[in-house]
Amino acid sequence: MSYVSPLLTAFVNAVKKSASSLDRDFCELEQLQNSIKGNKNFVFNSYSRIEKNLKIELAKIRADLPIFTPSDKVSGSSYFAVSPIDGIANFAHGNPNFAVCAALVENDVIICSVVYNPSRDETFFAEKGKGAYKEGYRNHERLRVSATKELNGALISSSVDSENIVNSTKILTSISAKTGDLRVSGSIGQDLAYLAGGKLDAFICLNSHISSMAAGMLLVKEAGGSVRAIEQKDIRVEDIKQIFASQNLVASNFNLNQKVFEIFK
């Protein structure tokens, strides 16, 4: 049975409490699909409520730390990085591929993280040096990356850089050609959590905010995976500032951590 520290327990509880209304909101969205204006207002209000709740609950854990969301410019070395609804376009369309992502960063080191999908009742969490887990009713499931060794047959997911569609299309085409199987789920945090649990073999993240990446990055590292820059510079969880310089990440199981770069050749 896994041991969960008081800090991580409080962190998980804070995230889940903050998002307690999200599953209900998601179910109600189905009734709003034919009302564009109503849908947009509903999604905005839901997002704002989760963001507000996160700031209240996380302040109870560390009131001295700032909380950064996707719309914020990150500064300093200690903070919370949160994405209230990672995959908000999916959420708005009644697609269950979304998650609430949160990470605690101290002195540029990711200490603990949570990725929570209320629509699927899935909670993934990790603490530095103590492994990554999926929450269970009695026992928590230890997360481990897959053992896939070859690109051919590997299941790879990617985000899409809306500011550079040409580059995104080139990368997506290369993934499809070299692996034969490609996914674009629309939620960075969820994809990284699934990679940590062996449901994906690699994930390519293009031009994304740290608030969407940090939580899943720790999950992958603690599950035995690799997280690096597309430029092939190592990104260690202890040196999170390197992420800002890149904003383009390649995460994979350990066996593919070199082969996955063939996609960019």
Tokens of 41: 């207002």
Q: What pLDDT is recorded for position 27?
A: 85
Whether the CA torsion 64, 67, 72, 75 is positive or negative: it is positive
Domains 6-142 and 156-264 equal at CATH topology level: no
Q: Considering the domain 156-264, what is its CATH architecture?
A: 3-Layer(aba) Sandwich (3.40)
Q: What pLDDT is recorded for position 32?
A: 66
Low-confidence spans in the chain with pLDDT less than 50 = 1
Q: What pLDDT is recorded for position 141?
A: 94
Q: What pLDDT is recorded for position 1?
A: 46
Q: What pLDDT is recorded for position 236?
A: 57
Q: What pLDDT is recorded for position 169?
A: 79
Tokens of 81: 């990085």
Strand positions, DSSP E, 37-176: 67-68, 79-86, 99-106, 109-117, 122-127, 132-134, 141-142, 156-158
Cα 10 from Cα 129, distance rounded (Å): 18
Q: What pLDDT is recorded for position 124?
A: 98
Tokens of 217: 């990055």
Q: What pLDDT is recorded for position 119?
A: 92
- pTM score: 0.92
Q: What is the largest CA-CA distance in the chain?
A: 49
203: which residues sit within 8 A by CB, 6+ positions away? 156, 157, 158, 188, 191, 192, 195, 249, 250, 251, 252
Cα 118 from Cα 234, distance rounded (Å): 33
190 residue type, one letter: Q
32 residue type, one letter: L
Which residue ranges make up each domain of the chain? 6-142, 156-264
Fold classification of 6-142 (topology level): Fructose-1,6-Bisphosphatase; Chain A, domain 1 (3.30.540)
